[in-house]
Amino acid sequence: MKSFDFTCTKKDKHSFARSGVIHTPHGDIETPAFVPVGTQATVKSLTPEEITDSGTDLFFVNTYHMVLRPGIDVIKKFGGLHQFMHWDKPLITDSGGFQVFSLGAKRFARKNEDGQGEASLVRISDDGVTFKSHWDGKEYLFTPENSMQYQNDLGSDIHIAFDDCTPYPVTKKQAEKSMQRTHQWAKRSLAAHKNGALYGSIQGSVYEELRVASTEFITSFPFDGFAIGGVSVGESKKEMEQVLSWVTPILPQDKPRHLLGVGEIDDIYTLISHGIDTFDCVQPTRLARMGIVFVDNQKVDITKIEYEKDIHPIDDTCQCYTCKYYSRAYVHHLFHVRELLGYRLATIHNLFFVNALVREMREAIGNGTFPRYNKERR
């Protein structure tokens, strides 16, 4: 068996949903799978053991942030991220493209490229992206070549090709220019790639013609899997679903698909039904730190006064550590007095909840009840 491989175990008869296993050097990932985001090489407030106990097989670390802090040289001294962060299961890193986009200056950078507009934190050219650190103002250049080198040095199991993350809203002409740049960078990323699996990134904004063209172009190259980008930069849920309806039917069946930046509770059935294998999202853990916890697919604000004396667990049916040992009243109290344990307990619950939800859907695909499962859950 190859060090990286994908096996599809079951396909749903009524949709594009499928279950499978992604094989990596650090273990297997049962799919569909939710991928929590560990921006700074940590899922905020949790230990690696707690992440594992939540049912997580794979989590996401941002290359951009690792380059800025602590620096690639520091992580190389440990032999890679796995040793640095005490995590022995699979890891996925991104190219850095989305973080550059999220500096908030990309639209201005596009104007600069055409000779208009004022100076920006970000300068985009066909060579790569020059930007200033939001921490200390130091200037960096990200190219397909050094993005691949950074991800290689980080030692993650899955890398993503450097892409130009198209903003939204955007004209079709601008989206096409961005897509063409992503395609050129994809070829350069593939040429520079060394170790680990490499996913090609599909762009094209909300334009069907561009999304189909990008899918056909990227899948013509020997990538190990495919990442669908540009659907979490302001598009509506309807537009996100449209993009999936154009892209996933023409993706190769023998390779995994990852959806970048999407994973709200009401999105999960939709994206799995369109054939997405893995997907990452910051929302479950970010909401937890705000005191928003998931109960029966609903969001509950545990900081509200109505939970001050509530002796029940967050969710009576949940088997997570938090629900086994703590009451709503106690978690409410922790948030009320701003104790850090509150963030931790809420994060444990939300992460466990999402993983359990996705596991149920995975099992429903396996036993042929996926459509009925959706009706019952809703």
Closest CA to 335 of 302, 294, 309: 302
> Distance (Å, rounded) from C-alpha 365 to C-alpha 142?
40
pLDDT tens figures, 72-125: 999 999 999 999 999 999 999 999 877 776 664 444 444 444 444 444 578 889
- If asked whether residues 289 and 334 sit together in one domain, one would say yes
Mean of the pLDDT values across residues 160-177?
93
Greatest mean pLDDT range, 84-88, 129-133, 369-373: 84-88
**pLDDT for position 232:** 86
> Distance (Å, rounded) from C-alpha 146 to C-alpha 95?
10
- If asked whether residues 89 and 161 sit together in one domain, one would say yes
Question: What is the domain-level CATH number for residue 219?
Answer: 3.20.20.105
97, two tokens: 């493209």
- As a whole-number percent, the residues of the chain with pLDDT over 70 amount to 93
- If asked whether residues 244 and 288 sit together in one domain, one would say no
Does position 316 have pLDDT exceeding 90, yes or no?
yes
- If asked whether residues 289 and 241 sit together in one domain, one would say no
Q: Is 280 a catalytic residue?
A: yes
Does position 55 have pLDDT exceeding 50, yes or no?
yes
pLDDT tens figures, 190-229: 999 999 999 999 999 999 999 999 999 999 999 999 999 9
Flag the least confident range among 66-70, 162-166, 269-273, 292-296: 162-166
Q: Are 162 and 144 in contact (CB under 8 A)?
A: yes
Q: Which domain holds residue 322?
A: 283-378
Q: Is 94 a catalytic residue?
A: yes
348, two tokens: 């444990």
Mean of the pLDDT values across residues 127-153?
91
CA angle 260, 264, 267 (to 5 degrees): 85
| Band of residue 134 on the pLDDT scale cut at 50, 70, 90 | confident
Last residue of a domain, one of 262, 281, 300: 281
Last residue of a domain, one of 281, 314, 347: 281
> Distance (Å, rounded) from C-alpha 177 to C-alpha 37?
29
**pLDDT for position 378:** 57
> Distance (Å, rounded) from C-alpha 176 to C-alpha 167?
12
Does position 162 have pLDDT exceeding 80, yes or no?
yes
- Per the structure, the count of domains in the chain is 2
- If asked whether residues 240 and 339 sit together in one domain, one would say no
- If asked whether residues 358 and 260 sit together in one domain, one would say no
Active-site option among 12, 224, 280, 315: 280
Last residue of a domain, one of 261, 281, 301: 281
Q: What is the mean pLDDT of the chain?
A: 92
**pLDDT for position 101:** 66
333 C-beta neighbours (distance < 10 Å), count: 17
- If asked whether residues 176 and 35 sit together in one domain, one would say yes
- If asked whether residues 319 and 354 sit together in one domain, one would say yes
- If asked whether residues 291 and 277 sit together in one domain, one would say no
Does position 22 have pLDDT exceeding 60, yes or no?
yes
- If asked whether residues 235 and 302 sit together in one domain, one would say no
- If asked whether residues 85 and 108 sit together in one domain, one would say yes
Mean of the pLDDT values across residues 259-285?
96
pLDDT tens figures, 348-358: 999 999 999 99
**pLDDT for position 2:** 61
> Distance (Å, rounded) from C-alpha 295 to C-alpha 195?
41
Does position 375 have pLDDT exceeding 80, yes or no?
no
> Distance (Å, rounded) from C-alpha 59 to C-alpha 84?
15
| Band of residue 4 on the pLDDT scale cut at 50, 70, 90 | very high
Active-site option among 57, 94, 153, 157: 94
- If asked whether residues 142 and 59 sit together in one domain, one would say yes
